[in-house]
Structure 1
Amino acid sequence: MNRPLRTALGVVLSAALLTTAAPAQAHGTGRPPAVIALPDGFQPEGIATAGQYAYLGSRATGAIYRVDLRTGQGATIGAPTGTPSLGLKVDPRGRLFVSGGTAGDARVLDTRTGEVLASYQFATAPTFVNDVVLTREAAYFTDSNRPVLYRLPLGRGGALPPADGFTTIALTGAYEQVGTGVNLNGIVTTPDGRALIVVQSTTGTLFRVDPATGATTVVDVPGYTFTNGDGLLLIGRTLYVVQNRLNQIAVVTLNRAGTAGTVTGTITDPNFDVPTTVAPALGRLYLPNARFSTPPTPTTPYSVVAVRAR
């Protein structure tokens, strides 16, 4: 068995989830707003949180929007790329790792300035670099069009590798690519940190992945299929699976190895409109509404919705 992956954000995310919200500075409600408006036409996909701030990526322009979750106020950082910004994660050094979708790439930004610190070209079409998870040793990215993961190793002190310093991990075993739809999507570590868990959107199946070999096995969750499975979030042994077009989050209790789990409930909200990904902050879970069923225009409104964790 390979050594634990030692998720870099585990402590940070758990602390963020348990933080007690201070009095809100918006609307005089005594709490941060439950629905936060994003710029019209933004087309959000991914979300990452650090303290009271959230970072959201636009699948339309690649813009990164930083919002204060206590006030709902925000602004774009850096310059849009013109290519998608999908799955996001922030590390303890204030760096934002961004999945590049159809561009087949990833980039790392300074969250203070939006400056691009590094970029990596994983693949060319057909490709769809969808989501990312961070450990202390590496960043792992999914590709919805290919049965692979991309591993970006992190050196001493979190040092980023050179542009060609990534590896491609071919998946073997139980996982099979299905058709031309969205296959690999969200990704997290297992509770014991020794492996990864991914969701395959086309089949609604969770797979456990050995990052050293790419070998996969099905996570045994009796009686449940994660239809439209999208973003994943792990806190302790609780796995949150966003089911985008179902407008809900499945709540799963996993064993430590991540080989099996039980669905203990679902979370939904009347403000959901095809949420895609999820991140914790201020004692709640925050999800961007991608609104896939609504034709996008420059004036289409978008939002982030906060719900209580279970």
Structure 2
Amino acid sequence: MRRPVLAIAMLVIGLLCAGSPATATTFPERIPLPDGFYPEGIEVGTGHDFYVGSLLDGAVYKGDLRTGEGAVLAAGVADRFLAGLEYDDRSGLLWAVGGDEDGTKLFAFDGASGDLIHEIDIDGAFINDLVVTRDALYITDSLADQLWSVPLTNRGAPAGPPRAISLDGDFRFVDVGELPINLNGIDATANGRTLIAVHSTLGVLYRIDPVTGEATEIDLGGATVPFGDGIVLHGRTLYVVQNFLNTVAVVKLQPDLASGEVVDTITSDLFRVPATAARFGNRVYVVNARFDVAPPPFLGDPIVSVDYDVVRVPRH
């Protein structure tokens, strides 16, 4: 009678042992992306899903933060590129700014199937990042002194043509140098009434009225956030990815968003010129763009042998 009991016990132990490696790799610190992918934007979708877009051909990669597994969801297209991404859980659409041979565009992919649902022409210079609010979508134009907006229905569908919003107030436009990046990363308060954006070249933050375009510099007490790329706003904590510095600045904002303080800097040996970030639970995920070894493909010949990844760091 003991032999069956022993056999069952050994089977249970075997199953537990077989499951332990999967447990050990749950929510891995590093998630590999396809070689030569040229990632730029990252976004978290439903559940553990995440998305990364390609500067090379506009492909969309979809992965699982829990397992680290993933695959290309939307295949690349010659002459297309994607920069910033934003997922809208009302519509299940993954919005992406970028362009193709016909000019700069706003794309919307089905977050489940990868099908291209919307393709909207944007008469911008270099549209770079975006944020979705309750009633509109806002886009930074890094080589111009303007934002773009697209109205949305309460279900997240486009409700009208894009509109340029001229930036006023404290905004300073820079047009010197080989590629002077002005506004880059953008996010919005929970009610959508205030936008926050980073000026990559000057290293300053602005709070922006989305109706008037009035930009007010956020007082950081003399500090700056140079090389600011993607940003993530969570409550009054702002995460600013500083690409070529291989850091993420943590800024604590005052309730009126008029001032703030750089209270911490996130570093990691795994950072390799991170471009953008997304928050999931108590972690921040950044995508390594590796612009130091493989500049954006529109600045030179693509290097398809470069490896890329997404890196998880604690949220400070």
SS in 2 for 1:158: coil
Do residues 52 (structure 1) and 48 (structure 2) align? yes
Inter-partner Cα distance in structure 1 for 2:222 and 2:130: 28
Higher relative helix content: 2
Inter-partner Cα distance in structure 1 for 2:284 and 2:210: 28
* Per-residue deviation, residues 83-125 of structure 1 (Å, max 9, x unmatched): 211100101131101011674211111011111111111115x
SS in 1 for 2:123: coil
TM-score normalised by structure 2 residue count: 0.85
Contact 2:134 2:154 in 1 (8 A): no
> Would you identify which runs of 4 or more consecutive aligned residues in structure 1 move more than 3 Å?
24-28, 190-193
Q: Measured at CA, do residues 167 and 25 of structure 1 come closer, stay the same or move farther in structure 2, by a change above 3 Å?
A: farther
Inter-partner Cα distance in structure 2 for 1:257 and 1:174: 17
The one-letter code matched in structure 2 to 1:279 is A
Report the counterpart of residue 84 of structure 2 in structure 1. 87
Contact 2:61 2:73 in 1 (8 A): yes
Inter-partner Cα distance in structure 2 for 1:183 and 1:59: 19
Aligned to 1:171, which of 143, 146, 167?
167
* 1:256 Cα deviation from its structure 2 partner: 2.3
TM-score normalised by structure 1 residue count: 0.87
Report the counterpart of residue 288 of structure 1 in structure 2. 287
Inter-partner Cα distance in structure 2 for 1:195 and 1:26: 45
Residues 251-266 of structure 1 mapped to structure 2, 5 A cutoff: 251-266=250-265
The one-letter code matched in structure 2 to 1:253 is K
Calculate percent identity across the aligned residue pairs.
42
The one-letter code matched in structure 2 to 1:302 is Y
Report the counterpart of residue 212 of structure 1 in structure 2. 211
Report the counterpart of residue 18 of structure 1 in structure 2. none
Report the counterpart of residue 3 of structure 1 in structure 2. none
Report the counterpart of residue 113 of structure 1 in structure 2. 113
SS in 1 for 2:81: coil
Q: Measured at CA, do residues 192 and 166 of structure 1 come closer, stay the same or move farther in structure 2, by a change above 3 Å?
A: closer
Q: Measured at CA, do residues 73 and 158 of structure 1 come closer, stay the same or move farther in structure 2, by a change above 3 Å?
A: same
Residues 1-310 of structure 1 mapped to structure 2, 5 A cutoff: 28-29=23-24, 31-50=26-45, 51-81=47-77, 82-92=79-89, 93-100=91-98, 103-123=103-123, 127-162=125-160, 165-179=161-175, 180-190=179-189, 193-295=192-294, 297-310=303-316
* Per-residue deviation, residues 12-59 of structure 1 (Å, max 9, x unmatched): xxxxxxxxxxxx996642531100110000010000002201100011
* 1:287 Cα deviation from its structure 2 partner: 0.5
Which stretches in structure 1 are left out of the alignment for 5+ residues?
1-23
SS in 2 for 1:86: strand
Contact 1:143 1:184 in 2 (8 A): yes
* Per-residue deviation, residues 121-166 of structure 1 (Å, max 9, x unmatched): 1115xx211000111111100011111111010123223235xx11
Contact 1:53 1:67 in 2 (8 A): yes
* 1:212 Cα deviation from its structure 2 partner: 0.8
Contact 2:95 2:109 in 1 (8 A): yes
